[in-house]
Amino acid sequence: MAFLQYPSPSFTTTRLPSFSVPIRASSRLSLPTTTPTFNSTSFSKWVPDFRAKSLNWHSYEPDFVGVGFAEAKVGVNKPELLPKEFTPVIDVAGFLSDGQEKRIAQEISSIEEDTGFKLRVLAQNYPDTPGLAIKDFWQVDDRTIVFVADPTFGNILNFNVGATVDLDIPRSFWSRLAGKYGNMFYWKEKGEDASIEAAVMAISNCLKEPVGPNNCSEVK
């Protein structure tokens, strides 16, 4: 899976070697008939400017790039912070009202029904997070987007993007999304809840667009 996180302006980014991206074939043409099995080796695929602080899946030993890794040496695994029953939205930070959680869960259900992709939302304040425990709780796989809302490090929007999702969604979309709704000026003025809801709707609009050379070119 590919992790993305976009640092606030106060951080120094790491310069990475250039790479070429092959022509993307849509993964939506045929959905799997069974639930894919999570494979920890999928963590070997990473994109620029990821900071490892939000989920702290450090114990899986992927090749971390970007800034902030030095501050994320200790993985967090707190299953006691997980709800007793399944939900696609976990708010351990208390950013969302019950009504907002319900609306986001309904939108996530619509995304999964229309596209086959799974969006999961975790609102946290590091290190108060279930961390590693969400992998099994949500059965994270290559069709899963884990959206972590954590204002601790500046930009509140952080994403863990499954490899199959990465085929359909241009990587530039996530950086533009973080830049628009995740920056500190936005969430401090509008509130963390507003950033989360706006990001969920933008992801929904993007995923439901027909796959092509210009899909997800705008953050709506």
Residue 109 is which amino acid? S
Q: What is the pLDDT of residue 220?
A: 85
| Strand stretches in the chain, DSSP E | 2-5, 89-91, 118-123, 144-149, 157-161
Predicted TM-score of the model (pTM)? 0.72
Over residues 84-103, mean pLDDT: 97
Cβ-Cβ contacts under 8 Å for 44 (sequence gap 6 or more)? 62, 63
3 state DSSP class of 116: coil
The string of pLDDT tens digits covering residues 12-43 is 334 434 434 444 555 554 444 444 333 433 43
3 state DSSP class of 102: helix
**For tokens 């200790």, what's the residue?**
74
The string of pLDDT tens digits covering residues 135-184 is 999 999 999 999 999 999 899 999 999 999 999 999 999 999 999 999 99
Check: CB of residue 140 under 8 Å from CB of residue 169.
no
Question: Could you tell me the residue ranges of all domains in the chain?
Answer: 86-207
| Cα 213 to Cα 203: distance, rounded to the nearest angstrom | 17
Confidence of residue 61 (pLDDT cuts 50, 70, 90): very low
For 86-207, give the CATH class. Answer: alpha beta
Rounded to the nearest angstrom, the gap between the alpha carbon of residue 79 and the centroid of all alpha carbons in its chain is: 19
Name the DSSP class of 83. -
| Cα 50 to Cα 158: distance, rounded to the nearest angstrom | 9
Q: Is the pLDDT of residue 116 over 70?
A: yes
Name the DSSP class of 75. -
- Cis before 88? omega within 30: no
